[in-house]
Structure 1
């Protein structure tokens, strides 16, 4: 079966891997010069199935209003005249009900736990280094934040997820670097089975495995549209992007890729069509506009996230693994000799531009918890557009157009759900029965 995957983030490359394992002839199309150069590039790197949670949660609307009044805030809201923004917000507010939150969180955890199983099975056959660490510690600055976390902890208990509630001293025993923190947590939650790793490094290694399996990657290639006839996808219209000499791939401090290779000497910018038996859309926030002309309504909206990557200067005073400042919704993750500080949600601006307010919040969180671990002036900043749906769970599987499949809407937890999502969609494309129940994980939930 000739299959085309649109998008070479971790979601798209994972999908291509499983399709190739099932005997498909796979081509991946990506407008960037390499894999994992969009949202997959600078994320927090946390694989925490027990932690994945909808942004739509009880008490969150009031909490966000309070955030807007604070200088150091994990939220930046910029109202616009875009009707899509307000439709998305209205849907999101409806999902902040406790009963809806529990349903959505359970759905997200179902695919996240399955994804971790898929990742471990993959690593048993393809072991490589991507800065992996074990354990995940949530830190709470106030009793109010502990109270807001109770519905999420109830879901963990119901799901049988292993976790420990602890005080400040116990948190410091898990992460000794907290002995030098400027603030002390009022409480913490430790999830020993969760883990972290550099998503971009993993995706680059996964690309190599895919290519060994015969997967073809077309970089610097734009998707001009889908070729759909009589309700069935027939292929993808693509065009080569103009040569962009001098442009460099974004550098990741822990694994810089260096200058991009020059584009081929002859690049035909005129559109051409690649025929396919099946097409998987994994383009992040760009997915909704691509499928909309065919009556496929996907409620995606870009919520920008930020990160900073810094080299560790004092190993003793740096974290060992991954932590989350639950009050400011900012993660600090250790990747070998570097730290990643990631967080902030900016709603209302579709452009990938850095905001000083967001960067200050990241650096404040690092300075509060690990003030001596890294030198602030060494930070390399990044911004990405998270493909968010209002209720939280991703959209996997059929689109309603025959042969056109979706693997979108993972928000800020795409890395945690990537391998499982890729395997589920590959199973569906090749007419296999997935290993998990897909109720609530497909576009059908919006049609209902």
Structure 2
């Protein structure tokens, strides 16, 4: 039995997806049962790397989702609209959906999955997080027997490339960003990447799957890498760390009703940590659970080939289920999304973490003592205080704390800023 695909979008990932389906030789035999019936694009005049018979390509996107012959709609348009509306329309037509759109799922996942469950169709999104790295399905299936305690990932290739280049070249952020844009690793408008928004979309999805509850995207604390300097990378190196943009989801006790920590920010990572060696545009997700312990998923986090691989894998999953059990046997609970409640997210002020802070101070006696007193008055325990050197006439001091409450740390900093000896606090970063 042949299954017909409606493909929305023929950009980088859409083209890669079409190329796999049109060239099934040597791949899984299931691909021979999948055909591309219609392709929805914004323009018919754009040069394409794949060619279709006349009548398959159309600019009428709604005609694709409404076509009664199409079994699965593959949404690869990106952006929030019309992607969200087309996904919901496809679901209303009782069509299964495969998407790589993390922004839509992170923001409208509750609406989309509720509609899908009512319609009895699947919405699969392996390509939405980590490109070609299999992480969505493992969280749903392979790791399903575990009580997940944390998901920590490097899940944005652009920022990882920038931080890697800053580390190896000793260059500042702006210089490396410009280089990344020339190479095509960063968009002309890099906001979603460098401000952490893309990673926040992805960790919202992973947290929802790993901890069995829905997540409101606006609850994810988000901080980007624009303020990370070459000086911070150098000092981190001296202290035994590298700086990575981490997306972190942590549970407090493993039960779905417990609060989660959910945050994205640049982080000092010990050089001995598994994530410290993930460089360039590569992604990695470290999952910890009980009884498994730790497992890490690593690979290319973007690009036509890796992302298209994940898209086609989802298509094949749906086709395999339809072939083996038929369309009317109900949803496989290991592939569908059935949780209804929203996770409670711990406010960033209440989390406990370690901190790195860099101070520029006037060369006055007793400065380090004043810092220690101010931190101590607010229950902030210091692991190390090091005077690195001088910038002009100002002494440069780096502080690393033990695990402390973020609210206490911030209150201490407010007091420290008012000390006569403090000229500036150019950098504050968390430590894993």
**TM-score w.r.t. structure 2 length?**
0.26
| Higher Rg of the two aligned structures | 2
Higher-RCO chain (CA-CA 8 Å, sequence separation at least 6): 1
- Normalising by structure 1, we get a TM-score of 0.26
